[in-house]
Structure 1
Amino acid sequence: MEFYNRHEEIKRLKTALEASQPRLIVVYGRRRIGKTRMLQQVVKEGDIYFIADQRETKLQIASFARLVATKIESFDKVTYPDWEIFFRSINQRIKKGTTLFIDEFPYLVKNASELPSILQKLIDEKEKLNFHLVLSGSSQQMMQKMVIDHHSPLYGRANEIIKLTSMRPGWLKKALNCSYVEAVEEFSIWGGVPRYWEIRNDSASMEEAIKKQVFNIHGILHEEPMRLFLDDTRDTVQIHTLISIIATGANRLSEIASRIGKPTTQLSRPLQKIIELGYIKREIPYGVSKRNSKKTLYKVSEPFMLFYYRFIVPEKTTLELGYVDQVYKQIFEKQFSSHCADIWENMCRQALPNLFTNSLFKPGVRWWGNNTEREQMEIDIVANSSDDRELIIGEAKRSSTRNISAIIKELEKKAKTFPLVRNQRIILALFVKQNTLKETPDNVFIFTPEDVVKALS
């Protein structure tokens, strides 16, 4: 698949690597997010790119030496007893200004905990160092501990720290060459992970890809979450359990604690860890302080994870017995619309700042609570402008059968009874699969998947 996006990250990398003084650059992010493909865009002739694995240190050094020997003649003819001698030997013989890339750096550190301290000594001798060093890794927690944690030997040494995150839906549309409506549906399954897009592209349709690569026990992504968890923790069971509970509807801390059979006080740290890894998020109603834990909901934030824990985990036994077609037809087809609607809502919230360019708006959030008539009410999207003079109140409806005029009337009623309006200009926003109105009311903005996907490019 063609390489897409990452323009800002590549620009930062190239600028750093053009410096006359040696640079330390750290790149990290979850597996399959595109770190290796991105780094390959900046590798120059003469650079050295080593991908570590989980073998013992002695074997890793020998393997690394053989790679270096393709650039430095006979480098592998010597036995290097430890990493310090290895790197100092490279430094003595390497051409000044060369970049040394070490991919999956945490694998080396697992078997040689002294390695960060060795690199620290080399980096602190900048006047003697002849190469740039780029460290990359999929273990997010380990990379943070080795570089960002103030106790780490490499703390404060990095000239660039780049965390790769998921790509936006607009790039998925280009990668899959699909319509805007299809882009929303595809994104609700594969999310913003480029490697998933490649796997999807190997199949003729979304249905074929889901059945072959996710539902089938031999599929590349059938055990994907557990592989991801192993990068960052030994306690994969706890993460697996918590995400499974949240994905199936237990969103309050008390509900999660009840389902898992533990007091709420024992869940704060593991939930925070999963949030830091990017798999779940806290959701708090518009206008409520983040300190208000009673209102907090926990939601699965990554589309593929939500899809996996909604459709694969509950049907694991059935799928392992080979009933792939039956699960797809009886479970997935009946529930997919609801699943896609959740992802669509979140896309609409994220798109707001690019949809309203005359004022600076924050991304939208959901609101729920009692309205001014003391009735329970929920609003899909609420966002205020940076100057707090304007307030967007919006609804996201994925169904194409709903009467848009009726939805607008419902939205107007919600706006009138919304209790948090403070002398602000109200802007109504409606997000629909298809705009069937010939004329749009003056106070209403209507957006379709085309608008949202373009805004998220």
Structure 2
Amino acid sequence: MKFVNRIQELDFLERKYKEPDAQLIIIYGRRRTGKTETVLQFSKPKPSIYFLSTRSNEKDNIDNFYDALFEYFQDETLLRLEKNWENIFQYLSGIKERLVLVIDEFPYLLESNKAVTSIFQRGWDLYLNKTDIMLILLGSSVSLMESEVLSAKSPLYGRRTGQWRITPLEFTHNREFYPNYTQQEQLYTYSCLGGVPAYLLQFDPSKDFWNNVHDKMLSKGEFLFEETDFLLKEELREPKVYSSILKAISQSKTKFSEIMTQTGISKSSLSAYLETLERLDLVVREIPVTETVRSKKGRYFLKDNFFKFWYRYAFPNLRHLESGNSKYVLSKIKSDFNRYMGHSFEGISIEFLTGNLQRVPFEFTDIGRWWHKEQEIDIVALNEDTGKILFCECKWSELKRKDADRILIDLKEKSTAVKWHKHKRSEYFGLIAKKIENKADLREHGYIAFDLQDMFR
């Protein structure tokens, strides 16, 4: 399996490994993001035991855990012990080496015994916290890991020595999956699949983007064809309700009231559902970047690119896809895809600026979109302390110099409607596009100007 990036995550794990005391590390995040592979890359060269919990009963999991211990230690003492968690922890308390013990899919243990966090708390307090063991608990069920392992109500609260939420990769890592793709094709792929490694590995790098979309996303029976449905059922109790919310948002029903009307869900229930979707990183609530968090101007958008693509194009056409008419659906996608990329490119541009602070004139503390009534600005970045603000437009097109000048004139006019630090601010203006003619000249005139060449430099 191809392993890409995860430098920060590996550095974190190495740092904790080198600390002198016992470590209890929580690694979690949505499925397919590469949690297991990241931990295995870290633990491979070290004394380590890897145990994968299964959706079976507790006895089966304990039996399998004993097998993993015996395979590593080859100690016949284990064969004589009564098989329970207490004896496992007691046995491990006698280990004198720096051992990495990985328990994957920890939520499956919770499903078979709700008291397992209390059992592990006792095991940690009585036996493990004075050893050299580095215990890593992994979980794909974000909701369970947050509520049962990380929350203040969890018996394990206060015991963990570190935690890391594994998130999807950034767009610049696509080139490592598809080295022969053009920059444009790499952004197409990121806008379609996001940065989830398991999804990126589904596409065949020897085929072009559109053939991959047809063969791997729109063809019944393929892994990606059932993925959104699988994830919702795996993570949530009412997948159909959540799906109706995602569908509404994908149809541009972005205000709370619009989603409520479209889905027929009550106000109180909808708030809870949206909070859950936000926690899972499927939906994001955005407010104009100059507003406070309590602003009533909030809008909801699909955050995950894979879900965004699926609910915009595949979900409304499932009857055609189920009947094998995938080429018809593909033609519909192609006719609309530039519009879709226009929205996606805004998010990619924000990601680019956030990761390249040294290439903008000041370090910003906030970045996002801005809107008021009928006016919108694609990106506004600001620094509350210095009073500096950047206004930027994103265009998924190749711009002639005259087009760039016109856009910048319009941008300056729109910026006057932004009231933030109105008379005490330093203003900067910029443009990000697929390609910009005479980009260097714009920069000489004090403008920020980036295109794909800069993004993939």
Q: TM-score, structure 1 length as denominator?
A: 0.91
Once the two structures are TM-superposed, the CA of residue 299 in structure 1 deviates from its matched residue by 0.4
Q: Percent identity?
A: 27
| Distance in 1 (alpha carbons) for counterparts of 2:378 and 2:325 | 36
Once the two structures are TM-superposed, the CA of residue 97 in structure 1 deviates from its matched residue by 1.9
| Distance in 2 (alpha carbons) for counterparts of 1:95 and 1:12 | 23
Once the two structures are TM-superposed, the CA of residue 145 in structure 1 deviates from its matched residue by 1.9
| Distance in 2 (alpha carbons) for counterparts of 1:45 and 1:428 | 51
Aligned residue type for 1:4: V
Partner residue, 2:198: 195
Bigger shift: residues 435-444 or 145-154: 435-444
Q: Which 5+ residue runs of structure 1 have no aligned equivalent?
A: 371-375
Once the two structures are TM-superposed, the CA of residue 350 in structure 1 deviates from its matched residue by 3.0
Partner residue, 1:257: 260
Partner residue, 1:37: 37
2:312 maps to which of 304, 310, 313: 310
CA contact (8 A) 2:96 2:131 kept: no
Once the two structures are TM-superposed, the CA of residue 315 in structure 1 deviates from its matched residue by 0.5
Partner residue, 1:159: 161
Once the two structures are TM-superposed, the CA of residue 417 in structure 1 deviates from its matched residue by 4.9
Alignment pair present for 1:378 and 2:381:
no
Q: Label 1:274 to 1:217 Cα distance change in 2 as closer, same or farther (>3 A).
A: same
Partner residue, 1:230: 233
CA contact (8 A) 1:360 1:386 kept: no
SS at 1:312 equivalent: helix
| Distance in 1 (alpha carbons) for counterparts of 2:340 and 2:82 | 55
Partner residue, 2:408: 408
Aligned length: 446
Once the two structures are TM-superposed, the CA of residue 379 in structure 1 deviates from its matched residue by 1.2
CA contact (8 A) 1:404 1:437 kept: no
Bigger shift: residues 309-318 or 77-86: 77-86
| Distance in 2 (alpha carbons) for counterparts of 1:21 and 1:48 | 18
Partner residue, 1:26: 26
Partner residue, 1:242: 245
Bigger shift: residues 196-205 or 217-226: 196-205
Aligned residue type for 2:177: A
How big is each residue's C-alpha offset from its partner over 1:377-424, in whole Å with a ceiling of 9 and x where there is no partner? 211111213434322111101022673232223223323454443332
1:205 maps to which of 198, 203, 208: 208
| Distance in 1 (alpha carbons) for counterparts of 2:438 and 2:424 | 30
Matches within 5 A, 1:35-184: 35-43=35-43, 44-73=45-74, 74=76, 77-78=79-80, 80-92=82-94, 94-125=95-126, 126=128, 129=131, 131-177=133-179, 178-184=181-187
Q: TM-score, structure 2 length as denominator?
A: 0.91
Partner residue, 1:390: 388
How big is each residue's C-alpha offset from its partner over 1:334-381, in whole Å with a ceiling of 9 and x where there is no partner? 1111111111111212333425444211353212225xxxxx321111
CA contact (8 A) 1:61 1:80 kept: no
Q: Label 1:152 to 1:116 Cα distance change in 2 as closer, same or farther (>3 A).
A: same
Aligned residue type for 1:41: Q
SS at 2:65 equivalent: helix
Aligned residue type for 1:193: V
CA contact (8 A) 1:350 1:363 kept: no
1:292 maps to which of 289, 292, 295: 295
Aligned residue type for 1:101: V
SS at 2:338 equivalent: helix
Aligned residue type for 2:413: K
How big is each residue's C-alpha offset from its partner over 1:166-218, in whole Å with a ceiling of 9 and x where there is no partner? 21111112332133333222210111111112112455222222122211111
**What is the aligned-residue RMSD (CA, Å)?**
2.2
Bigger shift: residues 77-86 or 155-164: 77-86
